[in-house]
Amino acid sequence: MSQSSSLKSDAASAFTILPEFAAAKAATMELNQSFKTKLVSFRSFIRKTTTSKDEVRASIRCIGRCIDNMEISLNDYEVIVEDKVDRPEVSSSEDLSHDQLRSNATLLLKYFRNRTLEYFFAAFFPPDITHVDDAMAQFGLIRSHLENCESLIYKVMMEAYDCIASSEDEDSGYIFF
């Protein structure tokens, strides 16, 4: 074993992950997995031929709001995303055909799942050596965004929510650290 390997091993063993950190990390990872499953259901909802044009338009607005809120947090914390892929420009205009709206919603959902969520997690998911108070705040930030987006998705799918209303009350559920 080289001296460098020995030092790395000693450094790694010098850290103990606190139970509350481990529990919060596991809960956040579980919530993320559950959220990704919800996104698969949302994609199916968008693709269903029984989903109305208004529901697809609301889906586009809802995904857009989730992207906006996560990007606002990235900007608020002055996170620099290297090699960032620009958000696709999509429309939710009622003049578009049902198929075009579905295509726009699917494209935006794909960007959200593959880009925005990845950027967000890369920026805010704390490494194991983070101070527990800082880590808990970061887990709280992630959790609040995922829960609020999940709530919007649920409302669109189950309650025919139009995702137009933007009051302070709706956006106040976000946690900041």
Q: Which domain holds residue 94?
A: 19-171
Average pLDDT, the chain: 88
CA pair distance 160, 86, nearest whole angstrom: 29
Examine residue 157 and state whether it is found in any structural domain, yes or no. yes
Burial class (CB in 10 A: 0-12, 13-18, 19+), 16: exposed
Examine residue 114 and state whether it is found in any structural domain, yes or no. yes
120 CB neighbour count, 10 Å cutoff? 24
Whether the pLDDT of residue 158 is over 50: the answer is: yes
Examine residue 41 and state whether it is found in any structural domain, yes or no. yes
Whether the pLDDT of residue 40 is over 60: the answer is: yes
Which residues neighbour 5 within 8 Å (Cβ) at sequence distance 6 or greater?
A: none
Note the pLDDT tens digit of each residue in 85-114.
Answer: 999 999 999 999 999 999 999 999 999 999
pTM of the prediction?
Answer: 0.84
| DSSP category for residue 131 | -
Examine residue 162 and state whether it is found in any structural domain, yes or no. yes
Examine residue 9 and state whether it is found in any structural domain, yes or no. no
Whether the pLDDT of residue 55 is over 70: the answer is: yes
Note the pLDDT tens digit of each residue in 61-90.
Answer: 999 999 999 999 999 999 999 999 999 999
Examine residue 1 and state whether it is found in any structural domain, yes or no. no
Domain count, the chain: 1
Examine residue 54 and state whether it is found in any structural domain, yes or no. yes
Examine residue 117 and state whether it is found in any structural domain, yes or no. yes
CA pair distance 94, 76, nearest whole angstrom: 33
Whether the pLDDT of residue 5 is over 90: the answer is: no
Whether the pLDDT of residue 153 is over 90: the answer is: yes
Q: Are 152 and 163 in contact (CB under 8 A)?
A: yes
Least confident of 2-11, 40-49, 98-107, 163-172: 2-11
